[in-house]
Structure 1
Amino acid sequence: MVLRRGPLVVGQVDFQVCQVCRCGYLRKISVDGAAKGYGIGTRTVLKLYRRYPGLTWYTTTQYDTAGTFWQKIARRTDGAFTENHDGACEHMKINRRG
């Protein structure tokens, strides 16, 4: 998913969803430096959460600041957004890009 601020592309989100297992995996959210701090990443995750209701979401905390970001998202959604989805969905393991 491409992220925009007006007409400008300012980032992207790499995610997978499995409706069979009712889980989603947010692999990576990238927002360009100048666009950070405007809530673009937060709004994008909330949009995905609404688009795919009832899923259990997983993610990874690759960067030091990612942990606080996911804690904030978890509070706003009542979702766990826990790390390490390995074993959560066999379908995503099969379809995951290398």
Structure 2
Amino acid sequence: MTSPDGLSLRRGPCPVGAVRFLRAASPGTADRFLITALDLDGRVVGRLDYRLCHGCRAGYVDAIAITGPWQGYGLGREAVTLMLGHAVAYRWSTSRRSLPGRRFFAAMAEETGVVFEGRAVRCTHLR
């Protein structure tokens, strides 16, 4: 996969081996979720925080982060794919504050066909 400016977004296999992903609702909420990427020793190497409004069929990515040495191996891509699988046919948005974030979500939109709007979707429940 390449970004819109032609840069490669994948490095190849993860350097240490398998990474597992856990998805859980954030404590005390029904609409906030966290996907955590863990290495073989159980250390957190990435996370994706997002919110869903099932009534409006809308989702918002609050934050996605992969630790430096693990960037470029497709972990963010895998986390977003898992997220989308739990909210099929939802409208998605993200803040897109950083240039790498804008590039990442543009590449994900191209790969998945899901548009990640640059501002919050019109859902009062996600504010």
Tell me the TM-score normalized by structure 1: 0.86
User: Alignment partner of 1:65: what SS?
Assistant: helix
Aligned residues: 92
2 CA distance for matches of 1:81 and 1:5? Answer: 28
**Cα offset, 1:5, TM superposition:** 3.0
Quote the residue 1:50 is aligned against.
85
Q: Residues of 1 paired with 2:97 and 2:66: CA distance?
A: 14
Q: Which residue of 1 aligns with 2:74?
A: 39
Q: Give the % identical residues.
A: 26
Q: CA RMSD in A?
A: 1.3
> Structure 2 matches for 1:70-89, cutoff 5 A?
70-85=105-120, 88-89=122-123
Rg: which structure is higher? 2
List runs of 5+ in structure 2 lacking aligned partners. 1-33
* Secondary structure of the corresponding residue to residue 99 of structure 2: coil
- In 2, distance between residues paired with 1:37 and 1:62? 19
What is the CA–CA distance in structure 1 between the aligned matches of 2:96 and 2:105, rounded to whole Å?
8
Distance (whole Å) between structure 2 residues aligned to residue 64 and residue 76 of structure 1: 18
Amino acid at match of 2:50: F
Q: Which of 33, 37, 46 in structure 2 is aligned with 1:3? A: 37
Q: Which runs of 4+ in 1 moved over 2 A?
A: 5-8
Alignment-mate amino acid for residue 107 of structure 2: K
DSSP-derived class of the 1:41 partner: helix
Query: Counterpart of 2:126?
Result: 92
Residue 72 of structure 1 and its aligned partner are, at CA, apart by 0.8
| Equivalent position SS for 1:72 | helix
**What's the counterpart of residue 28 of structure 1?**
63
SS of equivalent residue, structure 2 residue 51: strand
Secondary structure class of the residue paired with 2:97 = coil
Distance in 1 (CA, whole Å) between partners of 2:89 and 2:39 is 28
What's the offset of the Cα at 1:65? 1.2
